[in-house]
Amino acid sequence: MKARIVASLLALCTTTVWAIGKADITYLPGLQFQTNFDTYSGYLNANANGTWQMHYMLTESRSNPATDPLLVWFNGGPGCSSYVGLFEELGPFYVNFDGQTLYENIYAWNTKANVLYLESPIGVGFSYDTERDSYSTANDDQTASQNYMALKDFFNRVQPQYLNRTFFLSGESYAGVYIPMLSKLLVQGINSNDFPNHKFQGAAIGNGFMHVQHLMNSIVLWSAFHGRVQLDDWDRIKVVCKTGTETDVERYDFTQFMVSPNGMDFYGDNTTECGRLIEPLITRDGFNGYDFDSYNYYQDCYQSSYDIPSDAKRRTERGRRRRRMTEPMDTAMLYTSRMRGEISKVESISGTIATQFQTADFRFLIYNGDVDTACNYLGDSWFMRDVAKDNNLKGGDRIPWFFSENNQVAGFVQRYSGKSGKGVNLSMDVMTVKGAGHMVPNDRPGPSVQMITNFMFPQNNGVNYTSTANTNPQPDFSPLLPQSASGFKMIAVILTMLMMELM
């Protein structure tokens, strides 16, 4: 009897495939809810001769796909698949713990946008080189070129209905390099009429890796002010880490006492007293080998029962350790410290950002989960202040913004605005998302969709991040597919029978 019950339970847990509409993707294995949007997938030519094939997925808007803007998403790494964003952060499909079924993210970013996910660069995920079996390296310039060509192919050949649609770029982490470099190419292509869609209106970067020196200097301060150093050591740091004639510890250049094997991962220089003192503040192992999650400081770090190398635990491209993704997916994540040394990167993209502001009306959003240490809000805020100064943008007051489900403070935002030398309107919003780590859409799903939707739909007086004019703070779940609904009822019955049998 027990064997029959267990066998029946397993059979009912197998998901039936259901069509979700007339689209390139007519079904998703394990889908458990009815969708009211179409999903597309395929390949884009990422070079002129089509030998580089970039894989994409497109989830159309739940509101008005014919008029809502296009939002392009990149995960970071470099080398992390954007499907991490799709299935774990901002996409409408979340993976259940069973690894077999998909449940609904009611705060998906396709609430009022058509969201395009690109697996970039070539060699990531399903993107491939037709002439080489294993293609795994790409410098930043090459990645920007691949992304430019892929988007050009998307508008011209693959989805021409978006040719005249307003579009934005978005992404997180190392997308803080991808997006400004791609933006520069887009502006150049628009000016020369090489790029077909001229309605590029903005970009949003979450917890961006944009300026190495600022990020490394700020993490020392961030760590000290979050209780990671005893006061006597902090007093000593202020003495032995002093650089030049600076008397303000916030202006010290701590990177002079750090070493790096690859320009991305930094350690204290143990030949100096300062380096030894700041080592526990800048490494991901914490004190005396005790782990903390560098992507979400307040998230508990538990190692799973499966074997993960100790260094892999500290440098996964994740905002938290325990999420909705399955353990097999977790072990397959790209551990960024293991591959970054092979990739040619830029350390600062301030000149690139400035370039795109010279040609068209443009708005920029830099948002940071305020408990991410890896790409922390302080370093990114310093960098954007430098960019604003270089472009003669005036900073406004730093004010709270609210998530309107319960009118609670969702973070803080400061706007820099002005005009370029050509009279172009420019704005940059520098924002924190309260309580979020590296992966803001997962940690704070409701505030994140309110944030990005308001960014794309400014009101008469500009972007108002507290507005609910285009979002529902309490969205309803979609109906379950018939098989899922009946299956769940039957599973409950069988589980009850099983418990009675075991008693």
Q: H or E segment at 54?
A: strand 52-59
Which token pair is 374? 């890896």
pLDDT digit string, tens, across residues 225-276 = 888 889 999 999 999 999 988 889 999 999 999 999 877 788 999 999 999 9
Contact by Cβ (8 Å): 386, 348: no
In a domain, 496, yes or no: yes
pLDDT digit string, tens, across residues 391-424 = 888 999 999 999 986 789 999 999 999 886 667 7
- Neighbouring C-beta atoms of residue 335, cutoff 10 Å: 18
Q: Establish whether 438 is a catalytic residue.
A: yes
For residue 67, give the 3-state DSSP assignment.
coil
In a domain, 210, yes or no: no
Confidence of residue 360 (pLDDT cuts 50, 70, 90): low
Query: 141-155, 306-320, 471-485, 487-501: which has the minimum mean pLDDT?
Result: 306-320
Domain hosting residue 487, numbered range: 1-15+481-503
Average pLDDT of span 448-457: 97
What is the per-residue pLDDT for 91? 96
Which token pair is 373? 């240490």
Strands 200-206 and 362-369: parallel
pLDDT at 298 over 90: no
The gap from C-alpha 486 to its chain's centroid, in whole angstroms, comes to 36
What does the DSSP 8-state code read for residue 480? B
pLDDT at 151 over 90: yes
What is the per-residue pLDDT for 139? 86
Place of tokens 């991962």: 265
The DSSP secondary structure of 12-38, one letter per residue, reads HTSPPP---SSSS----TTB-B--SS-
Q: H or E segment at 499?
A: helix 482-502
Confidence of residue 133 (pLDDT cuts 50, 70, 90): confident
Q: Establish whether 38 is a catalytic residue.
A: no
In a domain, 6, yes or no: yes
Place of tokens 């903005």: 202
Average pLDDT of span 190-218: 93
pLDDT at 342 over 70: no
Which token pair is 300? 């508990």
Collect all residues with Cβ–Cβ distance below 8 Å to 59 and sequence separation of at least 6: 37, 39, 86, 91, 92, 108, 110, 114, 115, 117
pLDDT digit string, tens, across residues 474-501 = 899 999 988 655 444 444 444 444 444 4
Q: Establish whether 173 is a catalytic residue.
A: yes
Number of domain units in the chain? 1
Of 265, 438, 443, 448, the active-site residue reads 438
pLDDT at 335 over 80: no
Query: 123-127, 168-172, 276-280, 457-461: which has the minimum mean pLDDT?
Result: 457-461
Q: What's the CA gap between 173 and 84, in Å, rounded?
A: 13
Query: 286-300, 369-383, 391-405: which has the minimum mean pLDDT?
Result: 286-300
CA trace torsion 471, 477, 478, 483 (10° rounding): 160
What is the per-residue pLDDT for 336? 33
For residue 503, give the 3-state DSSP assignment.
coil
For residue 98, give the 3-state DSSP assignment.
coil
pLDDT digit string, tens, across residues 16-39 = 333 333 458 888 889 999 999 999
First-last CA distance in the chain: 13
What is the per-residue pLDDT for 315? 31
Average pLDDT of span 6-20: 33
What is the per-residue pLDDT for 353? 64
In a domain, 500, yes or no: yes
In a domain, 248, yes or no: no
Residues above pLDDT 70, as percent of the chain:
75
Place of tokens 């007086």: 461
Q: What's the CA gap between 81 and 123, in Å, rounded?
A: 10
Asked if the bond preceding 78 is cis, omega within 30° of 0, the reply is: yes
For residue 292, give the 3-state DSSP assignment.
coil
What is the per-residue pLDDT for 115? 99
Contact by Cβ (8 Å): 174, 77: yes
What is the per-residue pLDDT for 357? 61
The mean pLDDT of the chain is 80
Of 63, 82, 173, 218, the active-site residue reads 173
Of 372, 380, 429, 443, the active-site residue reads 372
What is the per-residue pLDDT for 37? 94
Bridge partners of residue 296, in order along the sequence: none
pLDDT at 322 over 90: no
Q: What's the CA gap between 146 and 120, in Å, rounded?
A: 8
In a domain, 8, yes or no: yes
pTM of the model as a whole:
0.81
